[in-house]
Amino acid sequence: MYTSWIFQIGLMLAILTVAAVLLGEYMANVFSGKPTLLTPLVNPIEKGLYRLFGVNGNEETGWKSYAMDLVIFNVIGIIALFLLQEVQHLLPFNPQKFPRVPWDLALNTAVSFATNTNWQNYGGESSMSYFTQMTGMTVHNFTSAATGIAAMVAFIRAFARQSVSEIGNFWVDLTRSIVYLLLPLSIVFAVFLVSQGMIQNLHPYTNATTLEGKTQVIAQGPVASQVAIKMIGTNGGGFFNANASHPYENPTPMSDYFQILALLVIAAASPFAFGKMIGSRKQGWVIFISMMILYIMGLTAVVCSESSGNPLLSKIGIAHGINMEGKEVRFGQLASMVFAQSTTVTSCGAVNCMHDSLMPLTGMVLIFNMAIGEVIFGGVGTGLISMIIYAIVTMFLVGLMIGRTPEIFGKKLEPHEMIMAVVILLSSTVVQLTFSAIAVSNTFGLSSLNNAGPHGFTEILYAFVSMAANNGSAFAGLNGNTPFYNIAGAFVMMVGRFFVIVPALAIAGSLVQKKMVPKSAKFPTASPLFVVMLVSVVIIVGALSFFPPLALGPLLEHLLLQTGRTF
């Protein structure tokens, strides 16, 4: 069995690597303004959009204007999606006559989809009209993913350029992200998903009569179009409440396999785009290999944990085997493990099994994946940014140890860059742990909790870590649709998004003005030693920040489970 699993995982990662290399080259050409296979078809559309919105495609700005455009665009998106939910009962394509969404839930949802988090305190098939799903959720799946990619491209330019102040044009980067990358991939993927049996319609819900003579309501809707960008853009917001475990949202093992690849491919391609854009493909490979090592380490831990099974089963005479609770039989054990690992190392958050039913140590790995900033492989764009921030910290530590001025990828590091890097690494950690502490200390945080003890604590911790990491997956044992979790969650998601992107753009604005460090003064970052150092820093920083809460939650639950106690 394990030999077969190793082969399947190895094949998937090999396919991912080849696809990432090719896509990374394509992305670098797109954002460098070089011609691609799609240029003859897409260029007229791109130019037309610039004329429509009054954008000068040849004008570039400094980091402050770039960040201001990015923030304003996203704030407008939040307001628009909030208002859309408040008036959905007055709009067309609402065959189920869903009413307006309560304001606190509408606020949480608007912030969630605009920040690429896609945390859902609602069931899509029981709360949102087709019009809201299509023009609200699906549109934001494109724009939020494109925002992350645009920020990444601007950040890369800081290392590719020298002695200038401009890092690009946000509107150009946003437009190219959508028309050259996200939209073409989504169209192809949506057609494939429909071929697998995923629905795409505007029909009213179907009332079916079961064998027992009861009536069952079967939801319908434009599912494939939302699921395609949900995965490709590492969004994760499901059309159905059951997300990727729903047969209409993930009908076959083949659709499941390609959804895993889809949620990883752009994030995995980003290091290769980085390497080509800065003129050193080796640097891209170093970052990709570091991400891959961390991914395999986490996946190995997940497989070992789930394969060990629940020790309580052996106590009652049931064979000690793989934990199948909460998993879809049509996908099998391995697919559920790989999906859970992949969705938490990115900012996707889609699920094809219930994370609340996973073994405690598995839950600990998934939380750690998100807590470190989702750098393995991370969200589209933001994952690469976060990994380079860890690389900056690594080189600062190297500079301290060997007594030389720290530099990274040819750019000298000074106090400004380090301060911004620390802000990025600590801001999410602070809000995750602070709001988790508030929730477990007050009745308004505990009232909607389904489990007691360390498992209940893990559910709360997972929720705030997921929201701050802009992931969106949930343990599912916590009802987050309360005023406290809706409002607190909206704040946490905004901190997790903008306290990464804006300081990163500030770093870019500083580095782009600097000259390249002479080659003789550079530390060899394109080396196995740097890979080991970078991976070690990511693990150590995460462990130092999160060992206490992880010890109180999943680790304690694991130890108590061995003694026969459950929660």
User: What is the residue-wise DSSP string for 1-61?
Assistant: -HHHHHHHHHHHHHHHHHHHHHHHHHHHHHHTT---TTHHHHHHHHHHHHHHHT--TT--B
Q: End-to-end alpha-carbon separation of the chain, Å? A: 31
SS (H, E, C) 455-499: HHHHHHHHHHHHHHCCCCCCCCCECCCCHHHHHHHHHHHHHHHHH
In total, the chain counts a number of residues equal to 567
**Residue 284 confidence class, pLDDT cut points 50, 70, 90:** very high
Alpha-carbon distance 347 to 505, whole Å? 20
**Statement: residue 327 has pLDDT above 80:** yes
Task: Provide mean pLDDT across the span 381-396.
Answer: 93
Q: Does the structure show a pLDDT above 90 at 477?
A: no
What is the residue type of 74?
N
Task: Quote the pLDDT of residue 73.
Answer: 96
pTM: 0.94
Q: Alpha carbon 304 to chain centroid distance? A: 24
* From 313-317, 362-366, 387-391, 487-491, the region with the lowest mean pLDDT: 313-317
- Is the pLDDT reported for residue 14 higher than 80? yes
Sign of the torsion angle spanned by Cα atoms 348, 351, 352, 358 = positive
pLDDT of residue 505: 97
Tell me the percentage of the chain whose pLDDT exceeds 70: 98
Residue 366 neighbours by CB under 8 Å, 6+ apart: 302, 340, 341, 344, 355, 358, 462, 473
Element (H, E) at 560: helix 556-562
What pLDDT band is residue 320 in, cutting at 50, 70 and 90? low
Distance, in Å, from the CA atom of 193 to the CA atom of 67, rounded to the nearest integer, reads 36
In what helix (H) or strand (E) does residue 217 lie, and over which residues does it extend? Answer: strand 215-218
How far apart CA 132 and CA 128 sit, in angstroms, is: 6
3-class secondary structure, 333: helix
Name the band, by pLDDT with cuts 50, 70 and 90, for residue 332.
confident
Amino acid found at 88: Q
Side chain identity at residue 267, one-letter code: A
Residue 519 has pLDDT above 90, yes or no: no
Crossing angle for the helix pair 483-511 and 382-402, to the nearest 10 degrees:
60
Looking at residue 542, its pLDDT comes to 87
d(CA 433, CA 417): 25
Overall average pLDDT of the 179-199 stretch: 96
Instruction: Classify strands 407-408 and 215-218 as parallel, antiparallel or unpaired.
Output: unpaired
pLDDT, mean over the chain: 92
Q: Give pLDDT, residue 311.
A: 79
* Local confidence band at 317 (pLDDT 50, 70, 90 cut-offs): low
Return the closest-CA partner of residue 268 out of 528, 533, 13: 13
Q: Average the pLDDT over 422-435 and give the result.
A: 93
Within a 10 A sphere around the Cβ of 519, how many other Cβ atoms? 7
d(CA 126, CA 117): 20
Are residues 504 and 155 in contact, defined by beta-carbon separation less than 8 angstroms? yes
pLDDT tier at 500, thresholds 50, 70, 90: very high
The Cα 276–Cα 258 span in angstroms is 26
pLDDT value at residue 319: 58
Structure confidence by residue, pLDDT tens digits, 131-173: 999 999 999 999 999 999 999 999 999 999 999 999 999 999 9
Is 367 a residue whose pLDDT tops 90?
Answer: yes
Predicted pLDDT of residue 440: 94
Question: Could you tell me the CA-to-CA distances from 191 to 174, 196, 199, 278, 431 in Å, in that order?
Answer: 24, 9, 11, 35, 40
User: pLDDT grade, residue 316 (50/70/90)?
Assistant: low
- Res 454: pLDDT: 93
**Is residue 380 scored above 80 in pLDDT?**
yes
d(CA 106, CA 102): 6
pLDDT at 384 exceeding the cut of 90: yes
Each residue's pLDDT tens digit, 543-567: 888 999 999 999 999 999 888 888 7
